[in-house]
A and B are shown apart, each in its own frame.
Chain A
């Protein structure tokens, strides 16, 4: 469904991502592992439109595409949940959910009532405890903020979902909720890139894991074929485990 081919991007002489190729199939979750600064987030931002790759190609459903900005990415049904959540703290849930894609009335004015109704509908599904529709999102708990960010990605019929450390700021119960959601979305046939530090979570949630180090791809493995220790070794040593090395 998605194929990143030989992607490179450099910032001021430092090659943050160096010739990485990676693919993703429908209904699959691919975990991206690596140290801080390994280039995981940078790679994925080339796909979500936040950065433009210096070099390399992106294919979606076999067609080569150019993604210059987040708007382009959304055109291809690529939705991103950023680590920082990318919420405007001073706006309420509905405004954030529809930010950049507001519903308008015939006269071109914002249809706040309809946006709030839609927001209530989707959040009732994702997080039934969510009640604070009128408050700015700065007044919400970490889990509730996460719900808004996820709702934003899910509402617009994402085909490809990028989640950058979705559980970093969450408690165990909320983490469980996100895990269930990932399974549900997977059943619906979405392809998901999951960026995470946590080897354990990746092993549980993902089908395949891609490990990066210093901007380069160490390897892509099926999680069933490796142990957590193998994955850790890949992250730290930057080498594929011996039993998989061809």
Chain B
């Protein structure tokens, strides 16, 4: 509280000068479109990472493997479970807490779901029953939510620091994951359940992807229109028309670009052949079938989670209170917000998201192992922090966390593609995390 008294004066003087009419064209462009410059910086960094990995491959390996539909599709699938958890981690960190246990929660819920769908449910429903995966997913999310709620209760109502509770949780739940099946790997999991992890059959194909793309574009345009109407109705300043059009084109362009990329990645030859046989398709000599992957289910799950979490954060009381608590816990309490109950619910939500991430992760692996999600907590926290969530609390965005997850996964995949071994990967990922936070500090100090 002491440092806030000195900041306002400095802040008001800088904001005062930037709103002067003498601002450069770039500044005016950014103000008119209301693009977050941090977001722009992250996009730039991401693009840089992609280009560096691609051209490193081109120059040293004679083949750029990064900017190919296949790799980008894989990156999107591989980032899903981290991305799902990172959205929850934003809320945890914004309220000045930390959750070190998400990887372990993922591990134990993965085991619970594995045992449930392989050893328990088939006895009652029969192997391959269509309800198995539904029950499994619900139980997984519920168990994760319960574990999170226990952590939240210990933190909020028993006053144990979140760092300690979740550090203990990390060990406890990792141990529980091992004990649940005495260290065995449970495989294969239910056939329908596996689809939630991606793969050729776990994607929605070309037509489905175009449908999703068109819906997303319509959504973007509708949101822009509704926003403009609302501003008009309350007589607030509206963005200039060209800025609205630019934002619309940019949003739709990104969506359509993503659809084109995922549709450009065909099924592998072997899978296509067995598909042709299974469906009795007769092809002319030398002709092959091009079947697009399209968006994978885990990616769609992640995007849906991101959308719902954004809605939760920006348009509900719950989200508003999360940020109020992060900004000033005392003020939040004086405004009648039940800070403890909020904390419990935030950790329960985090746990439930870890349960959902366990669905994606174990389905992708087609098995449940006690090591599932090992060290994930670090990548999740890194994703949130690289995405601009401040550990001091009060600041963070969902889209930032998703972008952060994409950055982290791009780094990991990129280094695998150009053949760096694990030790080097760890060094690079660790350094990038520290560097990202340092750059963010510089940016914030300049903005103030």
Contact = CB atoms under 8 A, between A and B. Distances in A.
Interface of A: 48, 50, 69-71, 74, 80, 82, 84-91, 95, 99-102, 104, 108-110, 112-114, 116-117, 132, 135, 138-142, 145, 169
A117 B235 CA distance: 8
B234 A114 contact: yes
Contact of A86 (B8, B11, B316, B331): B331
25 contacts: A70-B333, A70-B336, A71-B336, A74-B336, A85-B331, A88-B326, A89-B327, A89-B394, A91-B324, A95-B323, A99-B320, A99-B332, A99-B337, A100-B337, A101-B335, A101-B336, A108-B316, A109-B311, A110-B314, A110-B316, A113-B234, A132-B15, A139-B11, A140-B12, A141-B8
A88 B333 contact: no
A86 B317 contact: no
Nearest to B230: A113
Interface of A: prevailing SS: loop
Nearest to B15: A139
A109 B334 contact: no
B278 interface: no
Contacts of A114: 234
A70 B335 contact: yes
A74 B335 CA distance: 9
Given A99-B335, A141-B9, A145-B8, A88 B323 contact: yes
A113 B236 CA distance: 9
A241 B12 CA distance: 47
B395 interface: yes
B316 A87 contact: no
Given A50-B334, A110-B317, 5 more contacts: A84-B1, A84-B330, A113-B230, A135-B15, A140-B8
Contacts of B333: 50, 70
B7 interface: yes
A30 B12 CA distance: 35
A132 B436 CA distance: 30
Nearest to B333: A70
Interface residues of B, number: 36
Interface string B311-329: 1001111001001101110
A100 B7 contact: no
Contacts of A88: 323-324, 326-328, 331-332, 394
A90 B395 contact: yes
B317 A138 contact: no
B182 interface: no
B7 A138 contact: yes
Nearest to A88: B327
Contacts of B233: 113
Interface string B323-360: 11011101111111100000000000000000000000
Interface in B103-148: none
Report the 9 A-B pairs with minimum CB-CB distance, sorted nearest first: A88-B327, A100-B335, A90-B327, A90-B394, A71-B336, A86-B331, A100-B336, A99-B335, A139-B11
B336 A95 contact: no
B331 A141 contact: no
A110 B324 CA distance: 14
A89 B4 contact: yes
A89 B333 CA distance: 14
B328 A89 contact: yes
B184 interface: no
B320 A110 contact: yes
Contacts of A140: 8, 12
A112 to B, nearest CB: 8
A85 B236 CA distance: 27
A86 B330 CA distance: 7
